[in-house]
Amino acid sequence: MNEVNDPNARREDDSLLAVARNLGKSYPKVFRPRDRLRALAKLLVGNGHIDSVPVLRGVDIDVTRGESLGLIGENGAGKSTLLKLLTGVLTPSTGSVEVRGRVGALLELGAGFHLEYTGRDNIAMSAALYGLAADELREKLPQIIDFADIGRYIDEPVKHYSSGMVVRLGFAIVAALKPDLLITDEVLAVGDESFQKKCVRWMEGYLASGGTLILVSHSMYHIQKLCRHALWLRQGEIAAAGDVFDVTQAYLAYHERKSAAGPERGIIAAQGVEFHLLGLAVNGTEQETSLFLDQGDSLCLTARVRSRDGREPTVAFGIARADGTAVYGVSSEMDGVAPQRIDAHTWVAEIVFSDLSLLPGTYTVKAHPLDTEGVRLFDTIERGIVVRGSTREFGLVRLQHRWGPAVKSDAARDAGDSDS
């Protein structure tokens, strides 16, 4: 991918699967039925100016084989439009786009399915569109049906399916075909927990075997888990592109700045989800006001999690600067530890940062409960801390260091000057 500080960098080689240059898309301004007719007439005649609204402007992308790219941005930023341009569903208004190899796309629920036909019939039609021969389809059909896991509904019309069942069937077809390039739009936001885990496991195996992925998601956790690079779209233009952690942290900091102008956030998620936070204690207190610490103090974070079904949660803790810049984050799943069960539905996780190396400044500490597998994030509590101290060092943390023998201390330099 292009680097964060150089979104216009370009690379041309045979390994490129998708290339976009100055890609843009605009739509005519239509507010009433007669506006559509007027715009169509101008297009047919071939003259006259059509008022249009750009939804994507000046996008350059290079996607190489084996790449895993996450597309992020707010609703209306142009993410879905970009995917439709890459898959050929839409034609660009400006610039060019080229995609090579077999492409598997999951863009919209039910896209490409005939609602009156059964799931089995739709598998056959999709396979034909992907260029599979009849003998190949017979070989892969049991695998597709098993992955979809929708039982007797495989022989029911698709119009009887739930949204989750439609995604199951669509993803099962793509998984069996193993395309050169997989393009998905929020597929992990639909379906039950077991299906989401199955999708994540398949995607990880697909990428490990050299597959190429473009993933749209509002979940930074999934973007960071599955992608090596990210592209952030804002109001139809590239705001940042490069390493997934650099881009997602810049995106989260942007939202932190937007939220800072609004009311206090407190507990973000409501009661009733699979896992939610009952409280977050900072050095033994759950006070809402910022806690003051001195450089080198210990920081102890204790999170109490309610598990609706009694299952063990994964608990993540993070520290961010006041502007949203991430400093550090870790989860119990990453370190291979487990929260402590207090009763049938309550778990507690505690983490201690001894000899805190943060430089003086204002920070936010966060706690998040995730499911047992560390896939889905459910809730957030944030607390403020202020680290006090007098130092002229700059940055976020103090790193252990020593000076080499070629460097003299002030005292030694003063002594040398007096000897001369």
Pair 102, 234 in one domain: yes
Domain boundary, last residue among 194, 226, 257: 257
Cβ–Cβ < 8 Å for 239, 233: yes
pLDDT tens across the length of the chain (420 residues): 444 444 444 444 568 889 999 999 988 765 566 666 666 666 666 655 556 778 999 999 999 999 999 999 998 899 989 999 998 889 998 999 999 888 888 776 566 788 899 999 999 988 888 778 888 888 999 999 998 888 899 999 999 988 888 888 888 888 888 889 999 887 666 566 778 788 888 888 999 999 999 999 888 888 888 899 999 998 899 988 888 887 887 787 677 656 654 443 434 444 557 888 988 999 998 866 678 898 889 999 999 999 988 899 999 999 998 777 889 999 999 999 999 999 999 999 999 999 889 998 888 899 999 988 888 888 888 888 888 887 778 888 888 888 888 766 665 566 665 555
127 and 72 co-located in one domain? yes
* 200 and 98 belong to one structural domain: yes
Any idea what the CATH number is for the domain that residue 311 is in?
A: 2.60.40.10
User: Which uninterrupted H or E stretch holds 201?
Assistant: helix 193-208
Q: Looking at the domain assignment, is residue 269 inside a domain? A: no
Domain boundary among 205, 223, 257: 257
208 and 86 housed in the same domain: yes
Task: Count up the domains in the chain and report the number.
Answer: 2
CB 168 within 8 A of CB 191: yes
- Same-domain status, 181 and 327: no
| C-alpha–C-alpha distance, residues 270 and 330, integer Å | 23
Q: What's the rounded Cα separation, in Å, for the pair 373 and 42?
A: 56
Task: Identify whether 231 is part of a domain.
Answer: yes
Assess if residue 192 is contained within a domain.
yes
In a domain, 393, yes or no: no
Query: Are 239 and 107 in a shared domain?
Result: yes
Residues 215 and 352 reside in one and the same domain: no
Q: Write the CA distances from 312 to 293, 306, 368, 373, 382, integer angstroms.
A: 32, 10, 14, 9, 22
Domain range for 68: 16-257
Domain-located, residue 2: no
Using alpha carbons, select from 245, 212, 232, 231 the residue that is nearest to residue 68.
212
Question: In sequence order, what are the residues at sequence separation of 6 or more whose Cβ sits closer than 8 angstroms to the Cβ of residue 384?
Answer: 289, 290, 291, 322, 362, 363, 364, 365
Q: Give yes or no: residues 169 and 249 share one domain.
A: yes
Determine the Cα–Cα distance for residues 388 and 367; give it in Å rounded to an integer. 23
Question: Both 102 and 176 in a single domain?
Answer: yes
Q: Are residues 288 and 251 in the same domain?
A: no
Residues whose CB is less than 8 angstroms from the CB of residue 318 and which lie 6 or more positions away in sequence, other chains included: 326, 327, 328, 329, 330, 365, 366, 367, 368
**Beta-sheet strands, E only, within 29-188:** 52-64, 68-72, 94-99, 103-106, 181-185
Distance CA 26, CA 85 (A): 12
Nearest to 366 by CA among 323, 315, 295: 315
Instruction: Give the orientation angle of helix 193-208 with respect to helix 163-177, to 10 degrees.
Output: 20
Q: SS3 for 216? A: strand
CATH of residue 126's domain is 3.40.50.300
Burial class (CB in 10 A: 0-12, 13-18, 19+), 252: middle
Query: Cα(235)–Cα(239) distance, rounded to whole angstroms?
Result: 9
> Per the domain annotation, does 114 fall within a domain?
yes
As a residue count, the chain comes to 420
Give the end of a domain, one of 222, 257, 292. Answer: 257
CA 330 to each of CA 12, 71, 276, 286, 317: distance values in angstroms, whole numbers, following the listed order:
37, 23, 18, 21, 6
Residue 183 within any structural domain of the chain: yes
Domain-located, residue 420? no
Residues 64, 180 within the same domain: yes
β-strands 16-28, 94-99 pairing: antiparallel
Same-domain status, 69 and 138: yes
Q: Answer yes or no: are the C-beta atoms of 340 and 349 closer than 8 Å.
A: yes
Please write down the HEC assignment for all residues of 84-111.
HHHHCCCCCCEEEEEECCCEEEECCCCC
